[in-house]
A and B are shown apart, each in its own frame.
Chain A
Amino acid sequence: MTTNETYFIPEPSRWPIISASGVFVLLFGFILFINDVGAGSMIMTAGFLMITYIFFGWFGTVIDENLKGNYGSQVSTSFRQGMFWFITSEVFFFLTFFGCLYYFRTIAIPYLGGEGQLGSSNLLWDGFTAHWPLINLPDATNYSPPKEAMGAGGIPLWNTIILLSSGATLTWAHWGLKKESKNQLVLGLIMTVVLGLIFFALQAYEYYHAYTAMGLKLTSGIYGSTFYMLTGFHGLHVTIGTIMLIVITIRSMKDHFTEENHFAFEAVAWYWHFVDVVWIGLYFFVYWL
C-alpha cells in the first residue's frame, strides 16, 4: 500500500515501442527462416540486434534512474512483485512441459500399449508394448529411434552438483552484500558464473554425445522430443541467467549495490534459484525415474 512519498513515474520512453518492433522483426525473420524463405536469417539477425540494443538501452536507463536515487521504497516493491509474478509465469511454462511428460508416461503411452478401456494400439499398431523410455516406436517411418536412453549417473549427476553448488555460492555472495564485503560479493558471483558456464559446457557435451553416440535426437520420437524440450528450455534459461549474473558481477565491481538498494541482484538471484529448482525436477523426472 502507498505511503505518502512520491511515486516515480518515468518520462515518456521510446524503449517499449522499439522493443515491440524488435520482437516483431525477430519473429517475422524466424518464420521466414524456418520456411526457407531467402531473407529470413537476415531479418532475424536484425531483430536480434534490435533486442540486444534495447536490453542495453532500457536496462541502462533504469540503472541510471536508480543511481540518481529516483526510486523510493515503493518503486522497488513494485519491481520485486513484478519479478515475482514473472517467475510465477515461468513456473507455469515449465509445468506445461513437465505435465506433458507426465501425460505421455502415465496416460498416452500406456493407452497406446492397450491399457484401459479405450486402449487403441490393437487397432493401430498390433504388438506395440508400452515402455519408458520409449525406444521402440509404434511406427518409426518418420522418426529415428534412439539406441539407448539417458542414464542418471555421470554428466547429469555432475550437473546437479554443479548447479546446486552455484546456488550456494550465490547465497554466499548475497551474504557478502548484506555485510558490505565487496570481495565476498564479487568472488561469490564470479564462482557462480564459472559454475554456470561449466554446467553449460557439460550440457553441450551431453547433447553432442546423445546425438552422435546414442542416436538420441529431437526426431527420436516422444522420448527425444520431451528430453530436448525440457532440458533445452532449461538450458536456455541457464544461459539467460548466466548472462544476467555476468551483468550483476560487473555492476557489483562498479559498486552499484548497497545493503538496502540491490533489487537487480535479488531479481537475478531469484531467477537463478528458480532455474536451479527446475533442474532438480528435471533430474528426477527426466534422468532418474
Chain B
Amino acid sequence: MSEATIHDDHHDHHDHKPTGIGRWLFSTNHKDIGTMYLIFALVMLFLGGASAMVLRMELFMPGIQIVDPDTYNNLLTNHALIMVFGMVMPAGAGMANWMIPMMIGAPDMALPRLNNLSFWLLPMAGTMLILSMVVSYFPGTGTPVNTGWTLYPPLSVQSGMGMDFLIFTIHILGISSILAAINIVTTIVNMRAPGMTWFKLPLFVWSWLFTGLLLIMIMPVLAGGVTMLLFDRHFGTSFFDAAGGGDPVLFQHLFWFFGHPEVYVLLLPSIGVLGLIIPTFSRKPLFAYKPLVWFMAALTALGMVVWAHHQYTIGMSLNATTYFMIGTILISIPVGMMLMSFIFTMWRGAMTFETPMLFGIAIILMFSFAGVTGVMLAVVPADLQYHDSYFVVAHFHYALIPGSVFGLYAAVFYWLPKWTGHMYNETHGKIFFWWTTLSFNLTFFPQHFSGLAGMPRRIVDYSPQFADFNYLSSVGGMLFGLSHLLFLYIIIKTVKGGEKAPANPWEGSMIGTTGLEWTLSSPPPFHSFSTPPSVK
C-alpha cells in the first residue's frame, strides 16, 4: 500500500505533504492541481483582459490609433481564445478539482496522475498560443492569425504559420479538456461516498457531470475540424474548397457543433455554483432541486442540436433554418426554469448579502438580460439584421461574463475561506462587486445600441456616428479591466492572512445539501477523506 493512503483519519493534521517544487510539478493531489488550475486561469484572465483593454483603447474613437488592423485582429482572436480556453475552462476545472472530491466524500480524483497531465498540458498550450502570436514577427511566416476565434476558412487556410501553432494549441487544449472531463465524470460516477446517492449530490457536482459529458462529445469534433483545416493548409485536401468539391461552410458547422455546447461548458459550472450560493445566503434549501437537475440534462441535450443558429446567413434550406430557430428558442425554457428555481429559493428566505450572494443576484438579473437578447437573436428574420453586429457582441458578453465569469468570481469569494483558511475582507469584496458590475454594464450596455444602429463587429475602425457609444464602452472597459487589480489584491491578501475561517464560514451552507466539504477544516487537510464518510 502506498504511503499516501495510510492516514485513515481526516482530522489528522500531520499530513505527509511532498515538499519543494516537486509537490507542484509531480502532484497527484486534487487540491494542489486545483490550485495550479486556478492560478493558471488567473494569469490568463489578466492576459486576455489586457488584450481586451487594448482593443477598447483602439475603439475609444474612430480611426486607427494604436494598433494596426492585423494586430487588432490578432488580439481579438487571442482575447477570445485566452478567455474561453485559458481562463473560464481552467477556472471551472480547477474548482471541480478542488471541490468535487470533497463534496462527494472521495479521497481524491479517480485518476490522479491523469489529472496532473490534464493540467500540465495547459501551460504547453498556452506557450503554443503565445508562439502563434509571436511567430508572425519573423520574416517569411505570412500573416498573423486574424480570423477571430472561429477560424473560418478560407481566411484560416490562407493565414501564415501562426495558424499552425493555433491549430495545435487547440489540439493540446482538446486533449487536456477530454482527459479532465473523463476524470471528472469517472470521479462523480465511481467515487461517491457510501450513501451519497445521485439526488444528494450538490448541484455543482451535477453541473460538472453534464459539463464533462459535453466536453467528451464536442472536443473531438473541434479536433477533427481543425485537423481538416491543417490538411487543407498543407497536404492539398479540399475539405473547405468548393473548387475541389468541398465546402467552406462545413467548417462553420463543425466549429459551431463544438462552439454552441461550449457555451454550456462555460455556463453550467457557474449555474452549479449558483445552486449552492443562493440557498446558502437565503438560508433555504434549493427550490425544485430534482427538476433543476432534469432541466440541466435537457439543456445539455438541446444544446447539442442547435448549433447552426450561429450561421443563419449561410444559406441553409428553409427547413433547416426553421428547425434551428425553434430548437434555439426552446432552450430558453430549461434556462428560464433554472433561473425561476433560484428566484423561488430566495422567496421568503432569510437573505443576507455577502459578496458571493451579490454576484449571485447580479447573475440572475444580467444573465436573464442575455436570455432576452438571445431569443431576439434566435429569430431568423431579426437575426439577419443583427448578424455580425455589436448587438451580438453585447449579447454574448452578457451571457458569458455574468453567466460564467461572475459565477466563477462568486465561487472564488464563496470558497476562498475554505481554500485558504482565511476570511476575505467583506468591504473589499463588496467594493469589487459594485465596481466590476457597474463598469461591466457601462462597457457592454451601449453596445446593444451601436449594434442595432448597424456597427459591425471585429473591425478595427468604425463610422463616426457610433463614436458616443464607443466612448462610453471604452471608459467602461478600462474601469472593468482595472477593477480586477482589486480582485487580485483581495485574493493575495486572503491567501497571506486575515481572520481565521471556521470549518463552515457560511451559516446557511449546509441547509438542504449534504455539504461534506464544510465538515472538513479550513483549509482542508492534504488528503480529504482517506476513508469515506458515511452519508445518511
A interface residues with partner B (beta carbon < 8 Å)? 1-4, 6-17, 19-21, 23-24, 27-28, 30-31, 34-35, 58, 70, 74, 77-79, 81-82, 85-86, 88-90, 92-93, 95-97, 100, 103-104, 107-109, 111-112, 116-118, 124, 134, 137-143, 217-219, 221-226, 228-229
Contact = CB atoms under 8 A, between A and B. Distances in A.
Nearest to B227: A229
A10 B243 CA distance: 54
Nearest to A79: B111
B128 A9 contact: no
A82 B4 contact: no
Interface stretch (B63-71, B82-90, B102-110): B102-110
B225 A96 contact: yes
Given A7-B5, A225-B239, A82 B183 contact: yes
Nearest to B232: A225
Interface string B125-146: 0011001000000000100000
B238 A222 contact: yes
Contact of B182 (A85, A97, A112): A85
B245 A104 contact: yes
B161 interface: yes
Given A89-B216, A109-B245, A117 B3 contact: no
Given A12-B18, A74-B190, 9 more contacts: A2-B193, A15-B113, A16-B117, A31-B165, A93-B223, A218-B237, A219-B238, A221-B244, A224-B237
15 contacts: A9-B108, A9-B112, A11-B3, A20-B124, A27-B171, A27-B172, A34-B234, A74-B191, A86-B178, A92-B216, A112-B242, A138-B243, A218-B237, A222-B239, A226-B239
A222 B231 contact: no
Contacts of A137: 238, 243-245
A104 B247 contact: yes
B164 A17 contact: no
B93 to A, nearest CB: 15
Contact of A20 (B121, B131, B193): B121
A96 B28 contact: no
Interface of B: 1-5, 8, 18, 22-23, 25-28, 105-108, 110-114, 116-117, 119-121, 123-124, 127-128, 131, 141, 161, 164-165, 168, 171-172, 175, 178, 181-183, 185-186, 189-194, 196, 216-221, 223-225, 228, 231, 234-239, 241-247, 249-250, 253-254, 315, 317-318, 527, 530-532
A24 B236 contact: no
A24 B127 contact: yes
A77 B186 CA distance: 9
B112 A89 contact: no
What's the dominant secondary structure at chain B's contact region?
Answer: helix
A82 B2 contact: no
Contact of A6 (B1, B26, B181, B245): B1
Given A89-B219, A104-B245, A1 B192 contact: yes
Contacts of B225: 96
Contacts of A17: 25-26, 116-117, 120
Nearest to A141: B243
A134 B178 CA distance: 35
A56 to B, nearest CB: 15
A188 B119 CA distance: 39
A97 B116 contact: no
B119 to A, nearest CB: 8
B246 A78 contact: no
A34 B237 CA distance: 15
A108 B239 CA distance: 11
A49 B117 CA distance: 18
Contacts of A7: 5, 106-108, 191
Given A74-B190, A137-B244, A222-B246, A31 B1 contact: no
Nearest to B6: A6
A16 B114 contact: yes
B59 to A, nearest CB: 33
Nearest to A225: B237
B372 to A, nearest CB: 31
A21 B123 CA distance: 10
Contacts of A11: 2-4, 28
Which of B194, B243, B250, B530 has the most CB atoms of chain A within a 10 A radius of its CB? B243
B228 A10 contact: no
B128 A27 contact: yes
